[in-house]
Amino acid sequence: EAAVTQSPRNKVAVTGGKVTLSCNQTNNHNNMYWYRQDTGHGLRLIHYSYGAGSTEKGDIPDGYKASRPSQENFSLILELATPSQTSVYFCASGDATLLFGEGTRLSVL
Amino acid sequence: QQKVQQSPESLSVPEGGMASLNCTSSDRNFQYFWWYRQHSGEGPKALMSIFSDGDKKEGRFTAHLNKASLHVSLHIRDSQPSDSALYFCAASELYGSSGNKLIFGIGTLLSVKP
């Protein structure tokens, strides 16, 4: 069954710390995406990838890096986390219609 | 400015009633549109897509697209309490290719009252 799995599901981080959010898909999709969801802003695209080794900036990339080491895995990295990055993060995969994971709730204190 | 704008922000309908959600794009490059639904505590799930002018019906759900006005709507007839969710409109310039980016609106919160 097609699936996108995110880890961790919940994370509390300290300001200035490094945070890595992980995403795994078993759908053999070329495209993978990271979005954040905030009330009043909907889903905003942070980074995306065409395939292993590629990463592209989305609409709000500042403060975030991404890594796609394989077809299955796509990570979002916050090198120096800030309270403004407190949000719910969604990973998705798909070459047209997207399949989303269940989300990671991140709190930066 | 949001490239994909949705209205209303929230909507309440009685069980069995009709819910109508609207979406307008400000970017004429957008050719492909989707509706996604998100229940509380879950990730968004694709509800239906529409790429051609006119209506597309799937069960109780009907989407309508007017490319000339860049307007998409979703109509839910015989609304059920389980339809209560956040509904997103999403748009894309490309389909099924590398670099396909889906841009989402801020959502419409639908509440169906028993």
pLDDT averaged over chain A?
95
Reference B33, options B66, B61, B77, B82; nearest CA is: B66
| Interchain pair A43, B98: CB under 8 A | no
At B99 the pLDDT is 67
B114 touching chain A per CB within 8 A: no
Query: From A89, which residue of chain B is nearest by alpha-carbon distance?
Result: B43
| Interchain pair B98, A35: CB under 8 A | no
At B98 the pLDDT is 67
Chain B residues with beta carbon closer than 8 angstroms to that of A97: 34, 46, 49
Query: From A94, which residue of chain B is nearest by alpha-carbon distance?
Result: B96
Full pLDDT tens readout for chain A, 109 residues: 779 999 999 999 999 999 999 999 999 999 999 999 998 899 999 999 999 999 999 999 999 999 999 999 999 999 999 999 999 999 999 988 999 999 999 999 9
Full pLDDT tens readout for chain B, 114 residues: 678 999 999 999 999 999 999 999 988 889 899 999 999 999 999 999 999 999 999 999 999 999 999 999 999 999 999 999 999 999 998 777 666 789 999 999 999 999
**Which are the contacts of B39, defined by CB distance < 8 A and separation ≥ 6?**
B84, B85, B86
At B95 the pLDDT is 78
Residue of A9, A37, A99 for testing the chain B interface, max B β-carbons within 10 Å:
A37
* Cis previous bond, A61, omega within 30: no
Phi, psi for B37 (deg, rounded to 5): -125, 140
Chain A residues with beta carbon closer than 8 angstroms to that of B21: none
Task: Give SS3 for A79.
Answer: coil
- Chain B from 94 to 113: CB within 8 A of any A CB: 95-107
Chain B residues with beta carbon closer than 8 angstroms to that of A99: 46
